[in-house]
Structure 1
Amino acid sequence: MTKIYICGAVALLCAMAANAGTNNEINTVTSTGRQVSVTAVNPYIIKVSNHARESKSNESAAVNIHTPLITAQTTTAGRTRVLATSGGITAMLDTVNGSIVIDGGVPRVIGDNGMRRDSLNRKWVSVATMSNGAFYGAGERGYKLNLQGDTLIMYNKQNYGYTAGENRIKQMNICMPFVISDQGYGIFFDDYAAAWLAVENGTLTYSTEGKEDIDYYYINGNGSIANVVEQWTALVGRQQLPPVWALGYITSKYGYKTEAETRSVIDSLKRGGYPLDGVVLDLYWYGKEEDMGRLAWDADQWPDHKGMLRDFKKCGVNTVIISQPYILSNGRGADNFNYLSNHGMLAKDSLGGIHPVTIWVGQGGMLDVANPDTKAWLRDRYSALTDEGVTGWWGDLGEPEVHPEGAIHANGKTAREYHNQYGNDWSEIIFNLFQDKYPDTRLMTMMRGGTAGLQRYNVFPWSTDVSRSWGGLKPQVNIMLNSGMSGLGYMSHDVGGFAVDSANPVDPELYVRWLQLGTFSPVLRTHSTVDAEPYHYPQQEKILKSLIDERYKWLPYNYTLAYENAAKGWPLVRPLNFHGGNVTQDNADEYLWGHDLLVAPVLEQGADKRVVVMPEGSWVDYLNPSGKIYTTGDSVTYQAPLDVLPRFVRLGAFIVQADNKMENTGDFTASQYHIYYYPKTGYETSGMIYEDDHANPKALEQNQYAIMTLNGIDNNGKTEITATMQGNYPGMPDSRNLTFTVYRVNNKPGSVVINGKKLSARKWDYNAGTGSLSFSTNWQSSKPMHITVE
């Protein structure tokens, strides 16, 4: 089928008539009476609608661009209408049978034969692709990275205690009907209902239990996965800048049961010298398990919760508390259950009564977050608790974990139709609260359920109740990568593992290796039922403390990744081919942390080495940067004893790190950096660092930020570095104390010159053993700085 489409398209383009025009849409009514339209959403995105004539177009809950922003070129040649965008897309519509070819440049070509069918109580659509390569994304998928050859269930599902290799983690907590081809294009089927997506033999077949015909979107990345993700998140929404504390270390447990226990944990971490930015309180803050839905502090166990929240905040610790989608009738949430039930604010059955829900701790009802009254009731409670000092929110069980199929919601949707959307609508309640009442506060909401567009509500998802075992550790890279390419740039995991392996409840080696992965994950949050905190492992204390210190040292780099996520939708964790190249992975056990760092965690028990495959480019060992250069596709057996996390730096990179010891991210300052330069001989390269006041949620929209750009070139023993600063923000320092370390300096230089002034030899240090040169300077950043080493 694809070959026929492509040949026909080429012939058409060679013989098009000259009756061209400008419009953003081509459409037709086919010989069978179907209404077909192809719309240019922006230069890189095409929307395809194919509906029965009597049906109405489905209003999208996912798409964030509601009004087409561009004008495309349109042409008619015989029975074919053509739409072409400036972003390299040509779409050809057969006005008789409704078939479509969308060409984003070979091999980014798809064909749609125009046929739609209803069978097995589902609506179906298929598109043929030109290649049989890899497909990624589809939300949270842990069983492998490349989804080719699989049928993906689109119905959010919890998998308690999962491990690598289990078939059940094909279907996880956040499902999205969106996939990215390794050829650099994406397809989104605009549907939230229970559905299936078959990715087989170059064909994508989507079938849904939803009532409406399916629209889909073609996203052209012109061969780049990074470009696809940028356009995908432009379509469905991006996350705002995070609260900077969310990038620090957060402690969590199921659960801290009392105020006294929680204070003791914070004190122990601080006495132990661990930096700390947050604490997460599980369900015991409101009492016992059966009190779910109470949404009020248990005064017996938390006698001075307001004072506790104030005290934590004073020492830089932010408090996140849990809530769930259920209101139980068998505990101290019964008053809320009765009120919500009497006012029709819980999910109903087919007769209009409250649909009962049974979960592991009792019975009750399910909050109907499609109901405006329920939203208002929840918002009031979240607002009151936030006013008391709660800093962030944790939405648990939000797949929803238990969602009776007979339930009907206020929007008229059944559980099968609304299930995936539930987490988005729940997250939106908290997001809108902060937008309206706390517009100057950045939001962190932990949420484990939802679907396409979830990230626009400032959600920090995690991979839920993973097994506390080596089998639980292994799929986390796959999960972060597929989720990240789906728009969830902050997908992370319970560091250390959650669901305890009864045969081996405490494994110090596993904890160290998991914390190594967590240090270079979007959120570093330890969580378990036993021994969650690092001080429980005194023999490994030096390693663990150095890892958490490392997290803070990388804050300037990591905060710049947060900027890239907010500005472009790029995830912090990226596949090896994200920025180009042909090094692909079917199963991922290494990844790019931003553009310039390759992280290869050790995931096997007892391993003291591992094989690392190099992405596109030239790379050096982070721990020995003046050593051997590795290039695209090189396979390296790397020695990795327990205290070593294998990492490689891209040649040409500038890695900017904090140059001060921190107790929390409140100590993170733009006035003091250590800049490491890894020159690539003969090439001019650049890097950048993003800065703002760490507080304004709308810093980007209001242009209250600054970008430091670093350019470098190394030629014939002469190294030049230029630094410039553009932009401004409240509290921006006038000057910066900068320490530079330049690697791969083969001989002791004769001079170091900064803005025409030669540094005294006593003010720089050359280390022949590491091939590095270090020096410090104070930079008045209103003017460019030029450094010459030769």
Structure 2
Amino acid sequence: MTKNLTLLLSLFLCLTGLNSKAQDFQKTPQGIKANVGSVNVEIQFYNPQTIRIIKTPTGVSLKKESLSVIAKPENTELDVTSSGHLISITSSKIKVSLNDETGKVAFYTLDNKPLLNEKDYGVQFTPTDDAGEQTYIVRQAFRLGENEPIFGMGQFQKGKMEQNNQKLFLRQANLETVIPFFQSIKGYGVFWDNYSPSYFTNNPQETSFESEVGNCADYYFMYGGNADGVIAQMRHLTGQAPMFPYWTYGYWQSKERYKSQNELVGVVKKYREIGVPLDGIIQDWQYWGDNAHWNAMEFLNPEFPDPKKMIDDIHNLNAHVIISCWASFGPKTKQYEILNQKGMLMDFKTWPPFAENTWPPKPDAKPSGVKVYDPYNPEARDIYWKYMNQGIFSLGMDGWWLDSSEPDHLDIQDKDFDNITYLGPFRKVRNAFPLEHVGGVYTHQRESDSSKRVFILTRSAFAGQQRYGANSWSGDVVASWEHLKDQIPAGLNFSLSGIPYWNCDLGGFFLWNFHGGIENKAYRELYVRWLEFGTFIPMMRSHGTDSPREIYQFGQKGDWAYDAIDKFINLRYRLLPYTYSTSWDVTANSGSMMRALMMDFPNDKKAINLNNEYLFGKSILVCPVTDPLYVQKKDSSMVEDFSTVKTQKVYLPEGTNWTDFWTGQQIQGGQTVEKEVPIDIIPLYVKAGSILPMGPLVQFADEKIDPIEIRIYPGNDGDFTLYNDEHDNYDYEKGAYATIHFHWDDAAKKLTIDDRKGEFPGMLKKQKFQIVLVSEKQGTGLGVTAKPSKTINYSAKKISLKLK
């Protein structure tokens, strides 16, 4: 062993606190500070349920301002006691102890039930060099309960619901979204507040975070009692999610790419001509022209001669448009010139790698020269918005597609992370790139114009990004049945990480497995099933390359693929009152739109780890079809066969009854059923006691919102709050909105509609409700009820009615 290695090992052991002697502690307004061997430990209560644990090597001054956490510590009444080597701090909700000999921190309920323990001597600081800065590799280890399920960690497309028994490399990538946060079935969560590439490990011996760079171990423990409570604490820490515009919950059409403004507008016109609802259209890249002008935020492509007219034409068709912008710039753009002069560009290989747009590249292809900007720099974010506003937003653009927001990092070299950003070496802040980038656009647009809600579609996220009006998609997935299956637990774990808005490319981005694209019948079946799943996620958006995806590309009325797509797009629109009210629950109550079954059925062991079912909102159980059933390979061709209706197994969680959405049949929970799934049906079940509002059939979201069909699913008492506002500004933050609370008394078969609370400009003074008590004869499927149980003209005053 060399002398230097011996010294390094000695320092390592010293910093881990091994064989160290206990020291005194001191009380602070938020908790305590103590020194354990060569480690300073601080326990800070942010509120009675959320505690920050900070550990630093003795002698290291801590200067850290969190990029994710925006909450400040509240005044919390605490009881601090000590006995032997244990120091205990108790709030009105939770108890924390510190062993001042081993450094172990442990968390308990007030009745002393263990929640989470650190391992003895569980923190480690290993000296390292980060682009000339002396810092540490930081590791913190915990010991979970035996067979304790945990969830979250962002989006990793491995098909797993529980995040146990695996090692994850935490560095943002196209298909992987890093959020270093997990929550337990016990009702607590842990957020590791570090932005450098890290490892998360869970096995029977330990659960740990290990980060490449950090001058402290810094994590937040939050106790919510259940998954909703944990998410509420995480949002309290990192920010609440604002409302999206109403129209964003309609149907979106996109592809890679519309090559002219005539083609873009023509798609919207075609949807209006054929009578299929549409609200959003997306313009992908290259409207700026060649790669030297990459992301110029100008319409330099001659196929887009009048972008203002293009946007106006779309608006006149009662639709909306968003456009692709990137976190990088070509060498001939105005942005590149000024950012380069100011030293605000990073030097690593990003997309596009070559100057020409041809793919695959020519043997003599020259580098593109495109470089990523430094979003950690507030001045760079100002510059980014200046050109985005001048060149695009001022024309009337409705939102943003911030592509490659992780960003693309090709041919990764360790030296790439030595780039110096505004906040220090890139390695130190790598994973927070999407948070800073998306946050810059959101903040600037809100400062510029509050009459239009910010809507950002983006490919990556980090903890806290929900506060910036962003909906993240799962990346450039390859079309396959396996990847469709993977989307379900990927989206659910993303939501369980505290960020409620997620979506994916319906049909898969690349069609490498399906020669012929949509002409391939096997792909048509996959696309239909993927779109059916997409009806029940926060954003219903068709997108991909290699083949067009517009509904009319799949034939016409009477063709099985066309009819199924049409049916589910219309179902999406009928559900708008339910979906928009659920989005209000997200904003007002830290709710979740996609709900893993462990959220509502934590005591049902069969439900906890199911990776193919979930709740959309709190009422609708969704079980997407993720296997080919009707198109099979025969000889050398694909053959469709609909002569026999196939079935799919569905587990209905225990503790409640369920009603088949399509048939009205009531079924007891706690059992697996076989559901018939013709090509235009996926298993949908509504929880007993649910009150489900369904809007009229429309061609676009704001065409009309009246009458609303109120479906009552008997079998239990139930409540629902119907929400409405102006649909596209921030006046709701000032109280300009209205809610109507519905209560169903199942024993008395009585529905009570309370007084309407609140008001807003343009609100309907009277509203028609068609009340339906769902049975096998009435209130099923997509159709508008011909004969409701009762029809009332509601004028904002409380009313009760009996139903038979």
How far 1:294 sits from its partner (Å)?
Answer: 1.8
**Contact 1:589–1:600 (CA<8 Å) still a contact in 2?**
yes
TM-score (norm 1): 0.86
Aligned residues: 716
1:696 pairs with 2:701: no
**Contact 1:26–1:81 (CA<8 Å) still a contact in 2?**
no
Q: How big is each residue's C-alpha offset from its partner over 1:133-156, in whole Å with a ceiling of 9 and x where there is no partner?
A: 211110112211111001111101
Structure-2 change in CA distance of 1:690 and 1:107 (3 Å) = farther
How far 1:563 sits from its partner (Å)?
Answer: 1.0
1:712 pairs with 2:744: yes
User: What amino acid is the match of 2:437?
Assistant: W
1:642 pairs with 2:679: yes
1:218 pairs with 2:218: no
How far 1:744 sits from its partner (Å)?
Answer: 4.1
Structure-2 change in CA distance of 1:35 and 1:744 (3 Å) = same
Structure-2 change in CA distance of 1:691 and 1:53 (3 Å) = same
TM-score (norm 2): 0.85
Structure-2 change in CA distance of 1:772 and 1:640 (3 Å) = farther
3-state DSSP class of the match of 2:675?
Answer: strand
3-state DSSP class of the match of 2:220?
Answer: strand
How far 1:624 sits from its partner (Å)?
Answer: 5.1
User: What amino acid is the match of 1:675?
Assistant: I
How far 1:244 sits from its partner (Å)?
Answer: 1.1
Unaligned runs of 5+ in 2: 1-25, 129-136, 355-367, 631-645, 780-784
1:620 pairs with 2:613: no
3-state DSSP class of the match of 1:307?
Answer: helix
CA distance in 1: counterparts of 2:482 and 2:664, whole angstroms: 36
1:238 pairs with 2:268: no
The within-5 A match list for 1:112-511 is 112-119=119-126, 121=128, 122-143=137-158, 144-159=160-175, 172=176, 174-201=177-204, 203-222=206-225, 224-289=226-291, 291-298=293-300, 300-329=302-331, 333-347=332-346, 359-361=352-354, 362-384=368-390, 385-402=392-409, 405-407=414-416, 408-501=419-512, 503-504=514-515, 505-506=517-518, 507-511=523-527
More deviation, 573-582/734-743: 573-582
User: What amino acid is the match of 1:93?
Assistant: L
1:522 pairs with 2:538: yes
Percent identity of equivalent pairs: 24
**Contact 1:369–1:426 (CA<8 Å) still a contact in 2?**
yes
How far 1:316 sits from its partner (Å)?
Answer: 2.0
3-state DSSP class of the match of 1:418?
Answer: helix
Q: How big is each residue's C-alpha offset from its partner over 1:48-81, in whole Å with a ceiling of 9 and x where there is no partner?
A: 1111122233321111213334333333334433
Which of 542, 545, 559 is the aligned partner of 2:566?
545
Structure-2 change in CA distance of 1:627 and 1:661 (3 Å) = closer
Structure-2 change in CA distance of 1:697 and 1:245 (3 Å) = same
Q: How big is each residue's C-alpha offset from its partner over 1:295-326, in whole Å with a ceiling of 9 and x where there is no partner?
A: 21025111111011011112221111111122
User: What amino acid is the match of 1:191?
Assistant: N
Structure-2 change in CA distance of 1:38 and 1:21 (3 Å) = closer
CA distance in 2: counterparts of 1:125 and 1:415, whole angstroms: 22
User: What amino acid is the match of 1:284?
Assistant: Q
Structure-2 change in CA distance of 1:272 and 1:744 (3 Å) = closer
**Contact 1:327–1:366 (CA<8 Å) still a contact in 2?**
yes
**Contact 1:127–1:203 (CA<8 Å) still a contact in 2?**
yes
**Contact 2:292–2:370 (CA<8 Å) still a contact in 1?**
no
Which of 523, 548, 553 is the aligned partner of 1:536?
553
**Contact 2:506–2:542 (CA<8 Å) still a contact in 1?**
yes
CA distance in 2: counterparts of 1:684 and 1:242, whole angstroms: 30
CA distance in 2: counterparts of 1:587 and 1:777, whole angstroms: 41
Which of 60, 65, 70 is the aligned partner of 1:59?
65
Tell me what 1:760 maps to. Answer: none
How far 1:609 sits from its partner (Å)?
Answer: 1.8
User: What amino acid is the match of 2:344?
Assistant: M
Tell me what 2:113 maps to. Answer: 106
Structure-2 change in CA distance of 1:185 and 1:705 (3 Å) = same
More deviation, 92-101/226-235: 92-101
Structure-2 change in CA distance of 1:337 and 1:382 (3 Å) = closer
RMSD across aligned C-alpha pairs, in angstroms? 2.5
Q: How big is each residue's C-alpha offset from its partner over 1:344-393, in whole Å with a ceiling of 9 and x where there is no partner?
A: 22125xxxxxx665643423322111223321211101212111111101
How far 1:625 sits from its partner (Å)?
Answer: 5.5
**Contact 1:210–1:417 (CA<8 Å) still a contact in 2?**
yes
Q: How big is each residue's C-alpha offset from its partner over 1:244-279, in whole Å with a ceiling of 9 and x where there is no partner?
A: 111111111100010111122111111111111111
CA distance in 2: counterparts of 1:620 and 1:148, whole angstroms: 30
User: What amino acid is the match of 2:549?
Assistant: A
Tell me what 2:357 maps to. Answer: none
CA distance in 1: counterparts of 2:27 and 2:197, whole angstroms: 40
How far 1:643 sits from its partner (Å)?
Answer: 1.0
Tell me what 2:364 maps to. Answer: none
**Contact 1:470–1:603 (CA<8 Å) still a contact in 2?**
yes
CA distance in 1: counterparts of 2:243 and 2:654, whole angstroms: 29
User: What amino acid is the match of 2:222?
Assistant: I
Which of 763, 774, 785 is the aligned partner of 1:743?
774
Tell me what 2:596 maps to. Answer: 575
CA distance in 2: counterparts of 1:667 and 1:619, whole angstroms: 35
User: What amino acid is the match of 2:106?
Assistant: V
How far 1:217 sits from its partner (Å)?
Answer: 1.1
Which of 34, 43, 59 is the aligned partner of 1:38?
43
3-state DSSP class of the match of 1:422?
Answer: helix
